Structure 1
Amino acid sequence: MLLRILHTTTYRYHGSVDMAQHMVHLSPVDTPCQVVEYHALRIAPEPAARHQTTDVFGNLRTFFSLQAPHETLSVEADSRVNTHVPRPIPCKGAFADITWERARNRFLYRAGAPYDAASEFLFASPMVPRDDTFSAFARPAFSAGLPLLQAAAALMALIHTELEYKPASTGVNTPALQALHQGQGVCQDFAHIMIGCLRSLGLPARYVSGYLLTQPPPGQPRLIGADASHAWVSVYAPRPGSTEAIRSHERRTGEWFHFDPTNNRAGWGSPGEDYVVLATGRDFSDVSPMRGVIQGGAGHTLEVGVTVAPPEDIEALQET
C-alpha cells in the first residue's frame, strides 16, 4: 500500500522571536513492513543551520536553527511510504510458547548474563513510571503460565475496552497514571498506560509514534489536514533458549511485536498495512514531533495538520 503523509506544523508568535533552535522527529524509517520512497522537510523561514542525525534508538531526527527575527514558523514533512501486510502475532512456534513469567525472568539480574539491548526499555522513563497501580490493572490479563504474546494481546484488549477514547480529555503532558485513574484519554495515553503495565511487570516495552490511514465519515469528503498522528506499543519477546546458548550462538536475542490498544490491533513489525512507523522510544518525550527553545515572543498559537492517504487522493484534493 502506497501512502503519502503530509504533516504540517505552524507556530504564530505573539511578538517577534529573535532566535530559535528546534529538533523534529518527522522522518519515517525503513522497517521490515515499510519502505520510504520519498521524504522532504520544508521549513519556513529558511534555517541558518540544519542537519539530520540518527538518535540512540535508530530514529532519524533533524535539528535546525533560526537566527533572524520571525513571527511565524512553518514545518511541513512530506513522505511517501510503501507499506506491507505484517505477519500476524504467532500462535504457535518458539515466540508463541514463551510464557510471560519466563520472559520476565530473562531480565532479572544475574552476574555474567549477556547484555540485551531491550533491557533499557524495562525502566521508568520521564512520562511512564513503574508503579503498582499499573501492575494491579494489568494482572487480570497475566494469568499464570500464559504465553507472553497472548498476555500482551489480553492487556491490549483490556485497555481498549476499559478505557474511553475521548479527544481533548488529556494534554500532551498528562501523566500516564492520571489518564488511567480518569479512565479516558487518547492514543498517547493508551500507549503510555500499556507500557507502564508491562514495565511494572518486568517486561520491556517501547513507545511507537506514527500514522494510521483513516477514512472520512460516510458521505463526507476527505479533507487535507484532518487526520492526526498516532501512537502504539511494541513488546519485546526474547528468543527462547538458555542464557548460555544465547551468549555463544545468538546475535539477535528477541523480536518486537506491535500492539495498538486504541484500535485493538496487533502484528509482527506493525499493527497493520495501514500503519506507518515514524519513530520509537521510551515514551513520547523521546520522539515528540517537534520541540525546541526560542528567544523572544510572548506566547504563540499552534496549528497542526496531518493527512494520510493514497498519493492520488491528496493530489486530487490539492488541485481543487
Structure 2
Amino acid sequence: MKLSITHHTQYEYAEAVTDSVNELRLTPSTNERQSCYQQSITVEPNAPLFSYEDYFGNRVHAFSVNQPHRKLSIRTSMVVVTKRAPSAEEREAYLTGRTPEQGWAWLTSEEAGNRFAEFLLETDYTTITDDVRSFAAAADNPDTVNQPTASSMKVSVLDWLSSLSSRIRSEFQYDPEATTVETTTSEMFERKRGVCQDFAHLMIACARSEGVPARYVSGYHFVGDLQGGSADFEQASHAWVEAYVPTLGWCSFDPTNADPVGERYVKLGHGRDYKDIVPVKGVYRGTGEQRLKVTVDVRNIEE
C-alpha cells in the first residue's frame, strides 16, 4: 500500500507560556516491511528542528519555543509504502529444523539474556504480577487448570505468542473510557477492558514473564476503507507488539485486532513500553491549564 498520513497535535494554554522544550517521535522507521518516501514537519510558533536517533534507534526531532505563546501546533505529513505481512506458511518455513524445545532453550541462554536485556525486564507499565504469570502460562490452553509454563510445553515460541495475542483479544474488551494513558497492566486486569496501549502492555508483560523478549510499538493502522471513510485519531493511531522468535527474529503481533500486522500498519518506533515512544512530549514554563487536540488521517493513495 501507498499511504498518506497527516498527524496534527495542538496545545492551547489558558495563559501565555514560555520555554517550551519538546521531542517528536513521528518519523516512520524504514525497514524490510515499509519505506518512508517523504515527510514534512511544521511547528507554530516557528522553531528550528534538530534530529537524532535515540537509544532504540528511533528518529527524534527536538525543538524549543522560548518566546511567550498561547498555542503550540505540530503538524507532520508523510508518505509511506508498506508490504504485506509474511503468511503463516512462510513463517513456519523459517522454523524448519528447529524444535520448539530448542527455541525455548535458546531464550534461556546467556546470549539471549545479554542481547535483549532491556526487553526482558519489568517496567512500571509491564509489571509481572501473579495475574500476569497465570494468564501467560494458560495462553496455549485456557481450559487447563494449573497450566505449566509455556517454555516447558512442546509448543513453538511463535505459536505460543499467537495464542497469547488471540486470548487477550477474546478475554478483554476494547473500551476507550475504561483506562487512561497511565493505566498499568495490573489495573487493567481488574477492569478486564482497555485500549490498544493496555493490550500491548499486557502482552509484553506476559511474554517477558516467560523469557520472551518483547517491545512496544507505536504507529498507525489504516482502516478507513473498511469503515467507509478516513480514520480518526482513535482508529488510526495504534500500538502493538514485537516479540523475538528464535530463527525468525522480531515478529509483530496485534492483541487488539485479528488481522496480521501487514500492509495496513505503519511503524513509528519501538521501546520498552509507552514511555519510550511517546509521539509528542515536552515541558514548558507557565500555567497547567491546557487543552490538547490530536487529529490523525490515514489514506490509501496507491494507484
TM-score by length of 2: 0.88
How do residues 115-154 of structure 1 correspond to structure 2 at under 5 angstroms?
116-142=114-140, 144-154=153-163
- SS in structure 2 at match of 1:134: helix
Deviation at 1:173, TM superposition (A): 0.7
TM-score by length of 1: 0.84
Change (3 A) 1:73 1:114: closer
Aligned to 2:73: 74
Change (3 A) 1:100 1:206: farther
Contact 1:131 1:200 (8 Å CA) reproduced: no
Contact 1:38 1:80 (8 Å CA) reproduced: yes
Aligned to 1:5: 5
RMSD over aligned Cα atoms: 2.3
Aligned to 1:255: 249
CA distance in 2, matches of 1:230, 1:24: 16
Deviation at 1:307, TM superposition (A): 0.5
Give the counterpart letter for 1:260 in structure 2.
D
Question: Is 1:278 aligned to 2:268, yes or no?
Answer: yes
Aligned to 2:246: 238
Question: Is 1:297 aligned to 2:287, yes or no?
Answer: yes
Deviation at 1:224, TM superposition (A): 6.9
Mean Cα deviation higher: 68-77 or 136-145: 136-145
Question: Is 1:228 aligned to 2:226, yes or no?
Answer: no
CA distance in 1, matches of 2:190, 2:21: 36
- SS in structure 2 at match of 1:93: helix
Give the counterpart letter for 2:79 in structure 1.
R
Give the counterpart letter for 2:255 in structure 1.
P
How do residues 159-170 of structure 1 correspond to structure 2 at under 5 angstroms?
159-170=168-179
CA distance in 2, matches of 1:196, 1:61: 26
Aligned to 1:251: none
For structure 2, the residue ranges without an aligned partner over 5 or more in a row are 141-149
CA distance in 2, matches of 1:74, 1:235: 35
Contact 1:43 1:75 (8 Å CA) reproduced: yes
Mean Cα deviation higher: 86-95 or 27-36: 86-95
Give the counterpart letter for 2:116 in structure 1.
A
Contact 1:96 1:148 (8 Å CA) reproduced: no
- SS in structure 2 at match of 1:124: coil
CA distance in 2, matches of 1:217, 1:265: 12
Change (3 A) 1:273 1:30: same
- SS in structure 1 at match of 2:163: helix
CA distance in 1, matches of 2:268, 2:21: 22
Contact 1:6 1:225 (8 Å CA) reproduced: no
CA distance in 1, matches of 2:302, 2:109: 53
Give the counterpart letter for 2:178 in structure 1.
S
Deviation at 1:216, TM superposition (A): 6.3
- For residues 25-74 of structure 1, what are the alpha-carbon distances to aligned partners after superposition, in whole Å with 9 as ceiling and x for unaligned? 10101111111111111110012x42111111111011111110000000
How do residues 84-233 of structure 1 correspond to structure 2 at under 5 angstroms?
84-89=83-88, 90=90, 92-95=92-95, 98=98, 102-108=102-108, 110=110, 113=111, 116-142=114-140, 144-215=153-224, 221-222=229-230, 227-233=235-241
Deviation at 1:99, TM superposition (A): 5.9
CA distance in 2, matches of 1:232, 1:99: 27
CA distance in 1, matches of 2:79, 2:87: 24
CA distance in 1, matches of 2:27, 2:112: 33
- SS in structure 2 at match of 1:265: coil
Mean Cα deviation higher: 120-129 or 97-106: 97-106
Deviation at 1:100, TM superposition (A): 6.0
Aligned to 2:147: none
Deviation at 1:128, TM superposition (A): 1.2
Identity, % of aligned pairs?
33
